[in-house]
Structure 1
């Protein structure tokens, strides 16, 4: 199973991001979406799981949860926009992957058996950080993450 990861679009869904996500079995958006049209376009690509970011304050975003858990077979994923606000002990909760956004900085690190992935920002550039996205390849209990620079 291929799970596309995207975050911090801030109202801009670049063609490079859509091309990268094409063929995904599922997409997770880590928040700071920027508008409902972003979600509509992503949902047309694959089933979509999304969390609300700190900039998603307009009425359309009120129903979007701040955190969400989704299970891909035996692999549990927990999404939250700002990792600093993580409200669970992932390992104790049986979560294998935590997906976040907020920093705009792509990152992937495994700690204590939990894979923490921030796909970076696929929307408007912040500072000199790359435009990026990511993916998870889930095969049974095995998980492999990959971050991709869409625009250096």
Structure 2
């Protein structure tokens, strides 16, 4: 099973590029994780027909924070996956988000705008980077895929 992973879209409405990314890279996925900082709830319209798991981030508006929790644990195909945005400086982010969860196989997070694939104490930490492609992400737009079979594997995809 493949899961599309995206974070830090920082948009008010869906854009043609976001729609193209969903059609191209997430076409074979039925589940999408958004790790926060979508900014406006309307951005999620582009994922119509997919099962969405979303957490609120620090830059999300009040409506997003009302609808979506700050963190969540999802059980899929026998795996427990923690979903959180993150907070604070990039240094130490893996440690901070790791403290929010126990007994999970993977933690998906965002916030730093920089991709991370790291295994620590048997837990896979995965940050797909940022869709927005701002200065913090070194102008790189990235998304991710999780593959769940006998184990969990993560992949970062650079889209621009």
**Distance in 2 between residues matched to 1:136 and 1:60, nearest whole Å:** 24
> 5+ residue gaps in structure 1?
none
Q: Does 1:111 align with 2:111?
A: no
**Distance in 1 between residues matched to 2:97 and 2:125, nearest whole Å:** 11
Tell me: higher relative CO, structure 1 or 2? Use CA pairs within 8 A at least 6 residues apart. Answer: 1
**Richer in helix (by share):** 2
Determine which of 58, 61, 85 is the counterpart of 1:54: 58
TM-score between the two structures when normalised by the length of structure 1: 0.87
Which position in structure 1 is the counterpart of 2:97?
Answer: 86
Task: Count how many residue pairs are aligned between Structure 1 and Structure 2.
Answer: 147
Change (3 A) 1:30 1:89: closer
> 5+ residue gaps in structure 2?
88-92
Show structure 1 runs of 4+ deviating over 3 A: 87-90
RMSD: 1.9
User: Per-residue deviation at 1:59?
Assistant: 2.8
**Distance in 2 between residues matched to 1:24 and 1:66, nearest whole Å:** 24
Which position in structure 1 is the counterpart of 2:38?
Answer: 33
TM-score between the two structures when normalised by the length of structure 2: 0.83
Q: Does 1:75 align with 2:84?
A: no
**Distance in 2 between residues matched to 1:125 and 1:105, nearest whole Å:** 10
Q: Secondary structure at the match of 1:41?
A: helix
